[in-house]
Copies of this chain bind each other. A is one copy, B any other.
Amino acid sequence: MTINAEQRPVTLRDVAEAAGVSVSTASRMLDNRTPTSRTATAERVRKAADDLGYRRNTSAASLRRGATTTIGVLVPRLTDAVMALMFQAIEKEARSRGYFAVVATSGDDPKDERRATETLLDRNVDGLILATARLDDDLPASLRDRGIPHVLALRTDRVSPSALGDDEAGGYLAIRHLLDLGHRDIAVVTGPWFTSSARDRLAGARRAFSEAGRELASQLVHSVGYGLDDGIAIGHELFDAAGSRPTAVFAANDNLAIGVLSAARSLGIEPARDVSIVGYNDIPLISRLPVPLTSVRTPFDQIADAALDLLLPTGESGDPIRRSLPTLIPRASTARFHEQER
Contacts and interface: CB of A to CB of B under 8 A. Distances in A.
Interface of A: 2, 5-6, 55-60, 62-63, 68, 70, 77-79, 81, 84-85, 87-88, 91, 95, 100, 102-105, 119, 121-124, 145-147, 228-229, 232, 258-259, 261-262, 265-266, 284-285, 288-290
Contacts of A5: 145-147
Given A55-B121, A122-B56, A232-B288, A79 B68 contact: no
Contacts of A85: 79
A91 B124 CA distance: 18
Contact of A289 (B78, B121, B146, B262): B262
Nearest to A56: B122
Contact of A259 (B87, B123, B288): B288
Nearest to A95: B119
A160 to B, nearest CB: 16
Contact of A146 (B6, B56, B87, B290): B6
A290 B263 CA distance: 7
A258 B258 CA distance: 14
Contacts of A78: 78, 84, 87-88
A51 B5 CA distance: 45
B77 A68 contact: no
Contacts of A258: 288
Closest 3 CB pairs of A and B: A59-B62, A6-B147, A59-B63
Contact of A290 (B62, B88, B262, B288): B262
